[in-house]
Amino acid sequence: MADIIKLLPDHVANQIAAGEVVQRPASVVKELLENAIDAGATSIKLIVKEGGKNLIQVIDDGIGMSTTDARMGFERHATSKIQKAEDLFNLSTKGFRGEALASIAAIAHVEMQTKPEQEEMATHIRIEGSEVKFQEVCVAPKGTSMSVKNLFFNIPARRNFLKSNQVELRHITDEFHRVALAHPNIAFVFYNNGSELFNLPKANQRQRIVHVFGSKTNEKLVPVNEDTQVVKISGFITKPEFAKKSRGEQFFFVNNRFMKSPYLHHAVLAAFEGLIKSDAYPGYFLYLEVDPASIDINIHPTKTEVKFDDEHTLYAILKSTIKHSLGQFSVVPALDFEQDQNLETPYNYKDKHAVQPRVTVDRGFNPFQDVAQRSPNTTYKKQSTEGWEKLYEGLGDTEGREDGFSSLKFESESITGSIFDTSQDNLESLATTLQLRRKYIVTTIKSGMVVIDQNRAHQRVLYERFLKNITVDEAISQQLLFPLKLNFSKTDIEVLENIKEGLTTVGFLFSKIEGEEVCITGVPPIVSESEVGMVLDQLISDFQMQVVEDSFSQTDVLSKTLAKTLAVKTGEVLNNASQLALVNDLFACKESRWSPFNKPVYVTITENDIDKKFI
């Protein structure tokens, strides 16, 4: 039998490795930024074009590489970070496997210019699909400039699976945030298609968070600090009143490396228990410092999952630390029976004495005396009591008198939907609805009864209404007496710019979107002024989490989010008129059986089903 097992060529092996390391342009950004940080850079510039598909360039002022190192850096498993297997358990650098540059060079056009400080000339290398096209000396400043062009040029199937430029840019921005927040001592500049998105100077942790997420973030932050033998915790949490409906600003860093940990995330939620609603999520920026030997960061190709030796102790310390910070900065509500600020004497009145009140009484006043006998200073005049008996005339005589309510006429509401029996015999039962446990609406139909989920029913009604308004452009807007000004981060502002046209067709009117400020002059009638900020936050979160490729998808996401946010919630009490109106609107919809999120809206219980229960 002939031998069938053979070694793969290097370029094929590199492409297979690239499938694990490079999933999308954001993966390349992460690897290049981490390499620049490991090189000791104090200033890093990131340049992106067309969502990273055409160009990703990272320029740093690090130590640079010699000619030999520049060529060796693109070989598989070539690294300066570790020398032996034991070094994997004492890592202090970002990268260590030596696969990143080799994997990137296998599926893109790569150019690198690098120069150490002590060298006179720089090295310029161009590689296409793992093949070195040329290598020569050039003139360049100290540091390294790495350009990655035409990502997945030799793997069309992978390139076709990439999302739109907007979605890929969102993922790149997320990776940029993670790296920039972990290293506030490094200056970062981020350009997209020639325009500057972020310019972050060197700062401390709090300043870096404010620079990334906007100036209004500063008032939301509560410091967290704790130093134990197991872990040193620093960073910030957001105040409970600023908790959002979606998971947004939540960052864990271990030894300046971003990580995801559902277990520690649960510790944060446990610390906020009782302070925020069950469907809200607090923001946090927590930096953990532990012994490198006590963690394993080599359990996932992206190195975002970290395994701790003693997670239970870390959980307890983190939870108690956050609770202590919430109490220390008077964020947690407390009862104080010793002192009440409302009862304290104001500073301006501390030297003044209370004035004794005086009451003067006319001791000669007698209301039963005639006016002529009273004191001349008295202005009281007794009113005449004549005619008061006429108020009660006819009350005892009930004969020949018609009922006052017999002449009243009630306007009947029009009933839509064929599920109801509209015969005269059933009109009385038709108008009968019942709210069950503030969650369901029960009403009768021809064959029995129907139980409706009020939240899902209202979602369906609003969804079709918003979808129609956006499609036919017949929005109704309610003008605000005073313009409403809201602040968002630069990333959120970019999302609002993209969905501004859709929001306008729904009824939102924007007079200005500049910098971090949004000025709103009109809202849909169904949205109250106090709900505008919550609605926009939910919209931004949904558009960031979902893949929106075309205008139809954008319209659908916009309608679903507005319907979900503004629909009647479970637990709200509805009067009979509201219940009946919701039922009528539901069965007037084109698709009344399912909510916008494909969940059943109502169930039907026939008379036969009820009869079977009594057998």
User: And the tokens for 607?
Assistant: 């008379």
Integer Cα distance of 297 and 445 in angstroms? 61
Q: What is the mean pLDDT of each run of 10 residues along the chain (615 residues)?
A: 74 65 88 90 94 93 89 76 58 64 89 92 90 90 93 85 84 92 95 91 93 88 92 93 81 90 91 86 92 73 73 92 86 56 66 78 73 56 59 57 52 49 46 84 88 94 86 76 86 84 84 86 85 84 65 76 87 89 91 91 91 87
Length of the chain: 615
Residue 281 DSSP class: B
Q: What pairing do the DSSP bridges indicate for beta strands 55-60 and 43-49?
A: antiparallel
Please give the pLDDT value at position 424.
Answer: 44
Contacts of 72 (CB under 8 A, 6+ apart): 78
**Hey, how many other C-beta atoms are within 10 angstroms of the C-beta on 297?**
20
User: And the tokens for 202?
Assistant: 């060197």
Instruction: Say how many CA atoms lie within 13 Å of 604 toward its Cβ.
Output: 11
Please give the pLDDT value at position 517.
Answer: 86
Integer Cα distance of 322 and 333 in angstroms? 15
In three state form, how does the secondary structure of 435-476 look?
A: EECCCEEEEECCCEEEEEEHHHHHHHHHHHHHHHHHHHCCCC
DSSP secondary structure string for all residues of 489-539 = -HHHHHHHHHHHHHHHHHT-EEEEEETTEEEEEEE-TTS-GGGHHHHHHHH
Please give the pLDDT value at position 417.
Answer: 47
User: And the tokens for 107?
Assistant: 């599926």
The pTM assigned to this predicted structure is 0.71
Q: What domains, with CATH codes, occur in the chain?
A: 10-200 (3.30.565.10), 207-328 (3.30.230.10), 433-602 (3.30.1370.100)
Please give the pLDDT value at position 603.
Answer: 93
Which is nearest to 525 in space by CA: 538, 507, 499, 537? 507
Instruction: Say how many CA atoms lie within 13 Å of 393 toward its Cβ.
Output: 5
> To 10 degrees, the CA torsion angle through 209, 214, 216, 217?
-20
Integer Cα distance of 421 and 374 in angstroms? 77
Please give the pLDDT value at position 428.
Answer: 44
The answer to whether residues 287 and 237 touch, using CB atoms and an 8 Å cutoff, is: no
Q: What pairing do the DSSP bridges indicate for beta strands 284-289 and 250-254?
A: parallel
Please give the pLDDT value at position 415.
Answer: 46
Integer Cα distance of 339 and 96 in angstroms? 59
% residues pLDDT > 70 (the chain): 78
Integer Cα distance of 327 and 325 in angstroms? 5
**Hey, how many other C-beta atoms are within 10 angstroms of the C-beta on 125?**
22
Task: Please calculate the CA angle 328-311-316 and round it to the nearest 5 degrees.
Answer: 25
